[in-house]
């Protein structure tokens, strides 16, 4: 309940806080014709063109071509009527533009579509599994700061194994790059801690409703901090989100102000992290081998280093030990508790890594829409 949670659990989390096409007609330089200069008038012998070139030239000069080109939409394929093989790329036939793509491009597009489908499915599945696992952890061990810190740490053995064995290239960063990435790491940690606290104090569904307000906070931060204003229709589209969250809060039977504040803080820090990446980090050379997966690994490490001291202050070792002992008294074993924390931490790391891979494949708007879909798609899940 709220009475057992101090506001100090929440307050530290807030500290970190297009193409209009233009077509230019070629302006070719003009010059007098050869025949217009008397000194240059010399007899020119007729040149015999090859049959193939002669046939191709007819395409531009004969009345048949003009007739076919004018009635291409009614008479079918101009390529077929001109004796060309149907289904081929013909620059004279606008209907054949779909064939003006080599097989490799088409094959690459199919592979990318399949890859996106797999990534989005894995993202949704792993996120759902993490939400359930995290709720189980907080039910047995109600120490959200400690649990969140452990979950941030648990990805390290996994990624260090990949780096040390050469299965994944090790990122190379300068101190200047680390300084640029540090705020994003802190905000990532704030997003995670806020979500964990909100999960622990309220229903999973209510926390996801609060996280769905991220577009609202993104618009607010962009306007207030960066003076970047969006069109009026965009702001109007945010009104239903605000009304929906208000209605959900009124109907939430297990409403908790601490859960509300933590969930909202998670949405704010998540929006701030996305804007920071776009406004500050985008286009800057940060280092080598910074793939999406490696980027998340670096941000996780920075977030862990930032959150650990705060976690130790809010939930000192004695308090964590007492909560662990209480869990054992409820019937849990040491192995069960370690397993719950480890599985939850692994699922958190993997689902976020997949989310970073998906972000690299799509536009930010598509990524945000997908994030909202998988968030609102889980609002009817049980709370325990």
Instruction: Write out pLDDT tens, residues 299-336.
Output: 999 999 999 999 999 999 999 999 999 999 999 999 99
The pLDDT assigned to 349 comes to 92
- What is the pTM (predicted TM-score) of this model? 0.62
Cross-strand pairs, 173: 287
The pLDDT assigned to 362 comes to 57
151, 348 contact by CB (below 8 A): yes
Cα(112)–Cα(106) distance, integer angstroms: 10
The pLDDT assigned to 146 comes to 94
DSSP-assigned letters across all residues of 327-340:
HHHTT--HHHHHHH
Tens-place pLDDT, residues 137-159? 999 999 999 999 998 998 888 89
Confidence of residue 295 (pLDDT cuts 50, 70, 90): confident
Q: Which residue has the higher pLDDT, 367 or 296?
A: 296
The pLDDT assigned to 237 comes to 80
The token pair that represents 40 in the structure block: 């240059």
The token pair that represents 164 in the structure block: 């040390």
Backbone phi and psi for residue 257, each to the nearest 5 degrees, phi listed first: -65, -40
Total Cβ atoms within 10 A of residue 120: 20
Averaged pLDDT for residues 231-247: 79
The token pair that represents 189 in the structure block: 């940690």
The pLDDT assigned to 356 comes to 78
Mean of the per-residue pLDDT values for the chain?
73
Averaged pLDDT for residues 326-349: 93
The pLDDT assigned to 246 comes to 75
Helix (H, G, I), strand (E, B) or coil at 172: strand
The pLDDT assigned to 384 comes to 36
Largest CA distance in the chain: 112
Cα(156)–Cα(160) distance, integer angstroms: 6
Backbone phi and psi for residue 156, each to the nearest 5 degrees, phi listed first: -65, -50
Any idea which of 93-97, 257-261, 274-278, 285-289 has the lowest mean pLDDT? 93-97
The token pair that represents 49 in the structure block: 């063109």
Any idea which of 45-49, 237-241, 268-272 has the lowest mean pLDDT? 45-49
Judged against a pLDDT cut of 50, whether residue 351 lies above it is answered with yes
Cα(238)–Cα(230) distance, integer angstroms: 11
Backbone phi and psi for residue 287, each to the nearest 5 degrees, phi listed first: 160, -175
The token pair that represents 194 in the structure block: 């806020």
- C-alpha pair distances (Å), 69 with each of 77, 78, 101, 270: 10, 7, 22, 55
Strands 287-288 and 172-173, bridge-based pairing? antiparallel
Cα(73)–Cα(196) distance, integer angstroms: 61
The token pair that represents 131 in the structure block: 């939400």
The token pair that represents 352 in the structure block: 């976020």
Tens-place pLDDT, residues 64-103? 545 555 554 444 444 455 454 455 555 444 444 444 555 5
211, 270 contact by CB (below 8 A): yes
152, 307 contact by CB (below 8 A): yes
């Amino acid at each position: 309940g709220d009475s057992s949670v101090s506001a100090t659990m929440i307050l530290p989390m807030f500290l970190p806080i297009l193409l209009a096409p233009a077509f230019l007609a070629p302006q070719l330089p003009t010059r007098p014709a050869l025949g217009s200069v008397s000194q240059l008038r010399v007899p020119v012998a007729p040149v015999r063109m090859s049959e193939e070139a002669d046939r191709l030239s007819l395409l531009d000069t004969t009345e048949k071509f003009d007739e076919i080109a004018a009635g291409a939409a009614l008479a079918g394929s101009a390529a077929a009527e001109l004796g060309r093989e149907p289904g081929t790329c013909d620059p004279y036939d606008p209907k054949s533009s779909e064939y003006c793509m080599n097989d490799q491009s088409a094959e690459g597009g199919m592979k990318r579509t399949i890859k996106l489908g797999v990534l989005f499915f894995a993202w949704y599945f792993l996120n759902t599994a993490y939400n359930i696992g995290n709720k189980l952890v907080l039910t047995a061990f109600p120490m959200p700061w400690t649990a969140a810190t452990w979950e941030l740490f648990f990805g390290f053995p996994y990624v260090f194994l990949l780096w040390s064995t050469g299965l994944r290239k090790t990122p190379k960063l300068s101190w200047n790059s680390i300084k640029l990435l540090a705020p994003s790491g802190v905000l990532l940690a704030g997003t995670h801690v806020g979500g964990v606290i909100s999960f622990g104090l309220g229903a999973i569904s209510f926390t996801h409703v609060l996280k769905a307000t991220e577009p609202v906070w993104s618009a607010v931060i962009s306007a207030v901090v960066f003076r970047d204003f969006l069109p009026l229709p965009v702001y109007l589209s945010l009104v239903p989100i605000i009304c929906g969250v208000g209605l959900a809060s009124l109907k939430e039977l297990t409403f908790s102000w601490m859960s509300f504040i933590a969930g909202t803080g998670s949405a704010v820090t998540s929006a701030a992290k996305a804007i920071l990446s776009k406004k500050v980090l985008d286009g800057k050379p940060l280092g080598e081998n910074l793939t999406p997966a490696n980027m998340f690994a670096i941000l996780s490490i920075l977030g862990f280093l930032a959150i650990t001291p705060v976690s130790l202050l809010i939930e000192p070792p004695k308090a964590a030990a007492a909560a662990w002992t209480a869990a054992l008294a409820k019937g849990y074993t040491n192995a069960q508790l370690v397993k719950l924390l480890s599985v939850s931490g692994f699922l958190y790391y993997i689902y976020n890594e997949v989310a970073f891979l998906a972000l690299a494949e799509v536009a930010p708007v598509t990524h945000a829409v997908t994030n909202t879909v998988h968030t609102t798609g889980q609002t009817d899940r049980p709370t325990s």
